[in-house]
Protein backbone atom coordinates (compact mmCIF):
# COMPACT_ATOMS: atom_id res chain seq x y z
CA UNK A 1 0.00 0.00 0.00
CA UNK A 2 1.36 3.44 -0.97
CA UNK A 3 2.00 6.27 1.45
CA UNK A 4 -0.84 8.25 -0.13
CA UNK A 5 -3.28 5.41 0.50
CA UNK A 6 -2.00 5.08 4.07
CA UNK A 7 -2.47 8.80 4.59
CA UNK A 8 -6.07 8.52 3.38
CA UNK A 9 -6.72 5.63 5.75
CA UNK A 10 -5.09 7.35 8.72
CA UNK A 11 -5.76 11.08 8.27
CA UNK A 12 -5.11 12.14 11.87
CA UNK A 13 -1.71 10.48 11.93
CA UNK A 14 -0.88 11.85 8.48
CA UNK A 15 -1.90 15.41 9.37
CA UNK A 16 0.35 15.38 12.44
CA UNK A 17 3.34 14.19 10.44
CA UNK A 18 2.81 16.55 7.51
CA UNK A 19 2.28 19.45 9.92
CA UNK A 20 5.46 18.64 11.82
CA UNK A 21 7.52 18.41 8.63
CA UNK A 22 6.02 21.65 7.29
CA UNK A 23 6.77 23.49 10.55
CA UNK A 24 10.34 22.16 10.56
CA UNK A 25 10.96 23.23 6.96
CA UNK A 26 9.44 26.66 7.59
CA UNK A 27 11.69 27.16 10.61
CA UNK A 28 14.74 25.92 8.70
CA UNK A 29 14.02 28.38 5.88
CA UNK A 30 14.00 31.29 8.30
CA UNK A 31 10.25 31.74 8.65
CA UNK A 32 8.99 32.35 12.16
CA UNK A 33 7.04 29.56 13.83
CA UNK A 34 6.86 31.41 17.12
CA UNK A 35 3.06 31.66 16.83
CA UNK A 36 2.96 27.87 17.26
CA UNK A 37 5.23 27.82 20.32
CA UNK A 38 4.20 27.22 23.90
CA UNK A 39 4.62 30.35 26.02
CA UNK A 40 3.90 29.41 29.65
CA UNK A 41 2.36 32.77 30.49
CA UNK A 42 -0.08 32.41 27.57
CA UNK A 43 -1.02 28.76 28.14
CA UNK A 44 -4.46 29.63 29.52
CA UNK A 45 -5.21 32.80 27.53
CA UNK A 46 -4.10 31.22 24.21
CA UNK A 47 -4.78 27.53 24.87
CA UNK A 48 -4.33 26.48 21.25
CA UNK A 49 -0.59 26.78 21.82
CA UNK A 50 -0.81 23.69 24.02
CA UNK A 51 -1.63 21.75 20.84
CA UNK A 52 0.17 23.68 18.08
CA UNK A 53 3.51 23.44 19.92
CA UNK A 54 3.66 19.73 19.03
CA UNK A 55 4.47 20.67 15.42
CA UNK A 56 7.84 22.55 15.65
CA UNK A 57 10.91 20.45 16.47
CA UNK A 58 14.37 21.14 17.79
CA UNK A 59 16.35 19.44 15.04
CA UNK A 60 16.38 16.73 12.37
CA UNK A 61 16.93 13.84 14.80
CA UNK A 62 14.14 15.09 17.06
CA UNK A 63 11.80 15.28 14.08
CA UNK A 64 12.73 11.90 12.58
CA UNK A 65 12.47 10.07 15.93
CA UNK A 66 9.02 11.47 16.65
CA UNK A 67 7.68 11.10 13.11
CA UNK A 68 8.74 7.46 13.02
CA UNK A 69 6.99 6.56 16.27
CA UNK A 70 3.87 8.62 15.56
CA UNK A 71 3.59 6.81 12.22
CA UNK A 72 4.12 3.39 13.78
CA UNK A 73 1.82 3.87 16.77
CA UNK A 74 -0.71 6.29 15.30
CA UNK A 75 -1.71 3.93 12.50
CA UNK A 76 -2.29 1.11 14.99
CA UNK A 77 -4.55 3.23 17.19
CA UNK A 78 -6.37 4.89 14.30
CA UNK A 79 -7.05 1.57 12.56
CA UNK A 80 -8.59 0.11 15.73
CA UNK A 81 -10.30 3.13 17.32
CA UNK A 82 -11.09 5.30 14.31
CA UNK A 83 -10.01 8.82 13.38
CA UNK A 84 -12.32 10.78 15.75
CA UNK A 85 -11.10 8.91 18.84
CA UNK A 86 -7.48 9.25 17.68
CA UNK A 87 -7.95 13.00 17.18
CA UNK A 88 -9.39 13.43 20.68
CA UNK A 89 -6.61 11.30 22.18
CA UNK A 90 -4.02 13.41 20.38
CA UNK A 91 -5.44 16.70 21.65
CA UNK A 92 -5.82 15.43 25.22
CA UNK A 93 -2.27 14.06 25.32
CA UNK A 94 -0.96 17.32 23.84
CA UNK A 95 -2.73 19.35 26.53
CA UNK A 96 -1.39 17.12 29.31
CA UNK A 97 2.16 17.11 27.93
CA UNK A 98 2.36 20.84 27.20
CA UNK A 99 0.35 21.73 30.28
CA UNK A 100 2.86 20.14 32.66
CA UNK A 101 5.67 22.03 30.95
CA UNK A 102 3.70 25.27 31.20
CA UNK A 103 3.01 24.64 34.90
CA UNK A 104 6.78 24.39 35.40
CA UNK A 105 7.25 27.65 33.43
CA UNK A 106 9.01 25.76 30.62
CA UNK A 107 8.53 25.94 26.88
CA UNK A 108 8.29 22.75 24.82
CA UNK A 109 8.09 21.68 21.19
CA UNK A 110 7.69 18.38 19.38
CA UNK A 111 5.54 15.27 19.14
CA UNK A 112 7.31 13.42 21.95
CA UNK A 113 4.39 13.81 24.35
CA UNK A 114 2.09 12.31 21.72
CA UNK A 115 4.49 9.41 21.15
CA UNK A 116 4.48 8.59 24.87
CA UNK A 117 0.73 9.06 25.00
CA UNK A 118 0.13 6.66 22.12
CA UNK A 119 2.55 4.05 23.48
CA UNK A 120 1.07 3.97 26.97
CA UNK A 121 -2.50 4.15 25.68
CA UNK A 122 -1.94 1.01 23.59
CA UNK A 123 -0.14 -0.66 26.51
CA UNK A 124 -2.97 0.04 28.97
CA UNK A 125 -5.67 -0.96 26.49
CA UNK A 126 -3.82 -4.16 25.67
CA UNK A 127 -4.53 -5.43 29.19
CA UNK A 128 -8.21 -5.97 28.40
CA UNK A 129 -9.01 -5.07 24.76
CA UNK A 130 -8.34 -7.93 22.29
CA UNK A 131 -7.75 -5.42 19.50
CA UNK A 132 -4.58 -4.29 21.28
CA UNK A 133 -3.23 -7.63 22.45
CA UNK A 134 0.47 -7.78 21.59
CA UNK A 135 0.61 -4.28 20.07
CA UNK A 136 2.92 -2.98 22.82
CA UNK A 137 4.98 -5.56 24.65
CA UNK A 138 7.00 -5.16 27.85
CA UNK A 139 10.25 -4.78 25.90
CA UNK A 140 8.97 -1.72 24.02
CA UNK A 141 7.66 -0.18 27.23
CA UNK A 142 11.10 -0.70 28.80
CA UNK A 143 12.60 1.07 25.80
CA UNK A 144 10.39 4.13 26.30
CA UNK A 145 11.00 4.16 30.05
CA UNK A 146 14.75 3.84 29.47
CA UNK A 147 14.67 6.67 26.94
CA UNK A 148 12.73 8.78 29.44
CA UNK A 149 15.35 8.21 32.15
CA UNK A 150 18.21 8.85 29.70
CA UNK A 151 16.65 12.16 28.65
CA UNK A 152 16.38 13.24 32.28
CA UNK A 153 20.05 12.40 32.82
CA UNK A 154 21.12 14.28 29.69
CA UNK A 155 19.08 17.30 30.76
CA UNK A 156 20.55 17.34 34.27
CA UNK A 157 24.06 17.02 32.85
CA UNK A 158 23.43 19.93 30.50
CA UNK A 159 24.02 17.84 27.36
CA UNK A 160 20.51 18.28 25.95
CA UNK A 161 17.50 20.40 26.86
CA UNK A 162 14.64 17.90 26.88
CA UNK A 163 11.01 18.55 27.82
CA UNK A 164 10.84 15.65 30.25
CA UNK A 165 7.62 16.87 31.84
CA UNK A 166 5.98 16.63 28.42
CA UNK A 167 7.08 12.99 28.10
CA UNK A 168 5.66 12.24 31.54
CA UNK A 169 2.43 14.18 31.00
CA UNK A 170 1.73 12.66 27.59
CA UNK A 171 2.49 9.13 28.78
CA UNK A 172 0.36 9.53 31.92
CA UNK A 173 -2.57 10.92 29.95
CA UNK A 174 -2.36 8.16 27.34
CA UNK A 175 -2.22 5.49 30.04
CA UNK A 176 -5.22 7.04 31.83
CA UNK A 177 -7.23 7.16 28.60
CA UNK A 178 -6.43 3.50 27.94
CA UNK A 179 -7.64 2.24 31.31
CA UNK A 180 -10.96 0.50 31.72
CA UNK A 181 -11.86 3.00 34.47
CA UNK A 182 -13.17 5.96 32.49
CA UNK A 183 -13.04 8.44 35.37
CA UNK A 184 -9.24 8.42 35.61
CA UNK A 185 -8.58 10.37 32.39
CA UNK A 186 -10.79 13.40 33.30
CA UNK A 187 -9.17 13.43 36.73
CA UNK A 188 -5.66 13.57 35.23
CA UNK A 189 -6.65 16.24 32.71
CA UNK A 190 -8.29 18.33 35.43
CA UNK A 191 -5.19 18.06 37.60
CA UNK A 192 -2.99 19.32 34.74
CA UNK A 193 -5.27 22.29 34.02
CA UNK A 194 -5.38 23.12 37.74
CA UNK A 195 -1.58 23.00 37.87
CA UNK A 196 -1.37 25.42 34.95
CA UNK A 197 -3.69 27.83 36.74
CA UNK A 198 -2.18 27.59 40.23
CA UNK A 199 1.53 26.80 40.05
CA UNK A 200 2.64 29.82 37.94
CA UNK A 201 1.10 32.11 40.57
CA UNK A 202 4.05 31.21 42.77
CA UNK A 203 7.54 32.25 41.78
CA UNK A 204 9.49 29.46 40.19
CA UNK A 205 13.07 29.09 41.45
CA UNK A 206 15.16 31.79 39.83
CA UNK A 207 17.70 29.29 38.57
CA UNK A 208 15.13 27.44 36.49
CA UNK A 209 13.57 30.64 35.20
CA UNK A 210 16.99 31.87 34.10
CA UNK A 211 17.88 28.56 32.44
CA UNK A 212 14.60 28.59 30.55
CA UNK A 213 14.90 32.22 29.47
CA UNK A 214 18.51 31.72 28.33
CA UNK A 215 17.52 28.63 26.37
CA UNK A 216 14.60 30.44 24.74
CA UNK A 217 16.94 33.27 23.72
CA UNK A 218 19.54 30.87 22.35
CA UNK A 219 16.94 28.99 20.31
CA UNK A 220 15.27 32.14 18.97
CA UNK A 221 12.02 32.08 20.96
CA UNK A 222 12.24 35.80 21.61
CA UNK A 223 8.81 36.45 23.12
CA UNK A 224 9.28 33.60 25.57
CA UNK A 225 12.78 34.81 26.44
CA UNK A 226 11.59 38.38 27.01
CA UNK A 227 8.78 37.16 29.25
CA UNK A 228 11.23 35.01 31.20
CA UNK A 229 13.65 37.85 31.84
CA UNK A 230 10.80 40.20 32.79
CA UNK A 231 9.57 37.62 35.30
CA UNK A 232 13.08 37.36 36.77
CA UNK A 233 13.31 41.12 37.04
CA UNK A 234 9.86 41.36 38.65
CA UNK A 235 11.01 38.76 41.18
CA UNK A 236 13.93 40.99 42.14
CA UNK A 237 16.80 39.73 39.95
CA UNK A 238 19.39 42.52 39.97
CA UNK A 239 22.21 40.76 38.11
CA UNK A 240 23.86 42.56 35.22
CA UNK A 241 23.81 39.33 33.21
CA UNK A 242 20.02 39.09 33.33
CA UNK A 243 19.57 42.70 32.26
CA UNK A 244 22.17 42.28 29.52
CA UNK A 245 20.49 39.18 28.10
CA UNK A 246 17.13 40.92 28.41
CA UNK A 247 18.56 43.68 26.25
CA UNK A 248 19.85 41.15 23.71
CA UNK A 249 16.39 39.56 23.45
CA UNK A 250 14.78 42.98 23.00
CA UNK A 251 17.32 43.94 20.34
CA UNK A 252 16.74 40.71 18.42
CA UNK A 253 13.00 41.45 18.58
CA UNK A 254 13.70 44.89 17.01
CA UNK A 255 12.78 46.71 20.22
CA UNK A 256 15.97 48.75 20.10
CA UNK A 257 15.12 51.61 22.45
CA UNK A 258 14.00 49.18 25.16
CA UNK A 259 17.17 47.16 24.60
CA UNK A 260 19.37 50.16 25.32
CA UNK A 261 17.36 50.96 28.44
CA UNK A 262 18.00 47.41 29.67
CA UNK A 263 21.70 47.69 28.88
CA UNK A 264 21.74 51.02 30.72
CA UNK A 265 20.49 49.28 33.86
CA UNK A 266 23.09 46.53 33.40
CA UNK A 267 25.84 49.16 33.24
CA UNK A 268 24.58 50.78 36.44
CA UNK A 269 24.61 47.42 38.23
CA UNK A 270 28.04 46.30 37.04
CA UNK A 271 29.97 48.70 34.77
CA UNK A 272 32.84 46.22 34.50
CA UNK A 273 30.61 43.81 32.59
CA UNK A 274 31.01 46.08 29.56
CA UNK A 275 34.05 47.53 27.86
CA UNK A 276 34.55 51.31 27.93
CA UNK A 277 33.51 51.48 24.27
CA UNK A 278 30.29 49.62 24.99
CA UNK A 279 29.49 51.85 27.95
CA UNK A 280 30.07 54.92 25.80
CA UNK A 281 27.70 53.68 23.10
CA UNK A 282 25.00 52.97 25.67
CA UNK A 283 25.45 56.34 27.36
CA UNK A 284 25.35 58.28 24.07
CA UNK A 285 22.24 56.41 22.92
CA UNK A 286 20.38 57.04 26.18
CA UNK A 287 21.42 60.68 26.28
CA UNK A 288 20.29 61.07 22.69
CA UNK A 289 16.88 59.63 23.56
CA UNK A 290 16.57 61.96 26.54
CA UNK A 291 17.30 65.03 24.40
CA UNK A 292 14.92 63.82 21.71
CA UNK A 293 12.07 63.33 24.19
CA UNK A 294 12.55 66.86 25.55
CA UNK A 295 12.06 68.31 22.06
CA UNK A 296 8.51 67.98 20.65
CA UNK A 297 9.91 67.95 17.15
CA UNK A 298 12.17 65.05 18.02
CA UNK A 299 9.56 62.67 19.34
CA UNK A 300 9.05 59.62 17.18
CA UNK A 301 12.11 60.39 15.07
CA UNK A 302 14.54 57.71 13.96
CA UNK A 303 17.29 56.59 16.37
CA UNK A 304 20.15 59.08 16.77
CA UNK A 305 22.70 59.08 14.00
CA UNK A 306 25.80 57.06 14.63
CA UNK A 307 23.97 54.15 16.26
CA UNK A 308 22.36 52.22 13.40
CA UNK A 309 21.02 48.79 14.29
CA UNK A 310 23.79 46.22 14.50
CA UNK A 311 26.60 48.70 13.89
CA UNK A 312 27.06 50.24 17.30
CA UNK A 313 25.06 47.98 19.54
CA UNK A 314 26.83 46.71 22.65
CA UNK A 315 27.99 43.17 22.92
CA UNK A 316 27.73 40.67 25.73
CA UNK A 317 30.22 40.87 28.62
CA UNK A 318 32.21 37.94 27.25
CA UNK A 319 32.94 39.91 24.11
CA UNK A 320 30.73 37.96 21.75
CA UNK A 321 28.21 39.72 19.55
CA UNK A 322 24.91 40.78 21.06
CA UNK A 323 23.09 38.19 19.04
CA UNK A 324 25.14 35.32 20.34
CA UNK A 325 24.13 32.84 22.98
CA UNK A 326 26.92 33.55 25.43
CA UNK A 327 27.39 36.20 28.04
CA UNK A 328 25.85 35.88 31.46
CA UNK A 329 23.96 32.73 30.59
Q: What is the mean pLDDT of residues 161-169?
A: 91
39 found inside a domain: yes
- Domain assignment of residue 13, yes or no: yes
Q: How far apart (Å, rounded) are the C-alpha atoms in residues 72 and 184?
A: 26
| Same domain as 174, residue 262 | no
Question: Are residues 294 and 192 both part of a single domain?
Answer: no
Distance separating alpha carbons of residues 20 and 36, to the nearest angstrom: 11
Please write the tens of the pLDDT for every residue from 62-94.
999 999 999 999 999 999 999 999 999 999 999
pLDDT of residue 315: 42
Residue 322 forms part of a structural domain: no
DSSP state of 34: G
Do residue 191 and residue 222 come from a single domain? no
What mean pLDDT is reported for the chain? 83
Whether residue 1 has pLDDT greater than 80: no
Per the domain annotation, does 107 fall within a domain? yes
pLDDT exceeds cutoff 60 at 311:
no
80 in the same domain as 217: no
The domain boundary residue, chosen from 178, 201, 224: 201
CA-closest candidate to residue 258, choices 269, 277, 243: 243
CATH number at residue 263: 1.25.40.10
Decide if pLDDT at 325 tops 80. Answer: no
Query: Do 162 and 282 share a structural domain?
Result: no
CA pair distance 216, 50, nearest whole angstrom: 17
- CATH code for position 20: 1.20.1540.10
For the stretch 45-51, contacts whose Cβ atoms lie closer than 8 Å and that sit 24 or more positions apart, written own/partner, are 47/95, 49/98, 50/94, 50/95, 50/98, 50/99, 50/102, 51/91, 51/94, 51/95, 51/98
Residue 291 pLDDT = 60
In a domain, 315, yes or no: no
Greater confidence, 30 or 200?
Answer: 30
Residue 179 and residue 96 in one domain: yes
Which residue segment(s) compose the domain that 221 sits in? 206-298
Claim to verify: residue 275 and residue 160 sit in the same structural domain: no
Amino acid sequence: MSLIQDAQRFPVTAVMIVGAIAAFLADASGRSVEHLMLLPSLALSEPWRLVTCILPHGGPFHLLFNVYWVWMLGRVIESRMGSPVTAVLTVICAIAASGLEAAMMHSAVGLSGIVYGFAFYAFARGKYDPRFFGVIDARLIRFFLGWFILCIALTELGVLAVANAAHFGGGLMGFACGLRRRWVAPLVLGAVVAAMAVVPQYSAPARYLRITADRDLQEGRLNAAIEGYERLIEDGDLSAGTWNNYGIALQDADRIDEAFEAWGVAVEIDPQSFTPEQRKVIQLRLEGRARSSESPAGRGDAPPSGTPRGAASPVSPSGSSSGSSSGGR
